[in-house]
Amino acid sequence: MVVGAFPMAKLLYLGIRQVSKPLANRIKEAARRSEFFKTYICLPPAQLYHWLEMRTKMRIMGFNAAAIKPLNEGAAAELGAELLGEGIIFITACSCLMLEYWRHQLQQRRKEKERRVAREALRGEVGQLGLALEELQAQVQATSTQLALEELRAQLQEVRAHLCLRDLPPATPVAPASEK
């Protein structure tokens, strides 16, 4: 059995059954007491169920039943009430599963939206960081160009100073004024 492999699923199923069982019992009791319920709600499904069950059993055993005798009113009412109760339990369980599925889908959509927003924020940040990087690279290039230019200017001044010193005639010694 598939449910046996998943203990939580089995516990959930049993919990839903326990919760919906009192509701099903009340409806079954009302169906047994009310003629309208008994006649129009319980008897037709019970007779159909009995007819399908008997026809299937006969075919499995190899008999060909031309006519299947319907259930008496009391047995049909009891079977119809049981079918109604099980149907209510089944509908309750299906409703719980659908609600859980919808809740899970909503949660998934919310998470996906959060991821999308986070991705967009990261893309925006990456774009801003790219612009900042370009600005910094431009500043570095400008700074390195200025430093190189300043170095060249300093070297040029040194060369000029060196050339000026070389081109100057040698200085004549100036005699100290005390020797005269």
Instruction: Give residue-wise pLDDT tens across range 78-123.
Output: 898 888 888 888 888 888 888 888 988 999 999 999 999 999 999 9
State residue 62 phi and psi, 5-degree precision. 95, 10
The 10s digit of each residue's pLDDT in 119-162 is 999 999 999 999 999 998 888 888 777 788 888 889 888 888 87
- The Cα 39–Cα 24 span in angstroms is 18
CA distance 27 to 34: 10
> How wide is the angle at C-alpha 72 spanned by C-alphas 80 and 77, nearest 5°?
20
pTM: 0.55
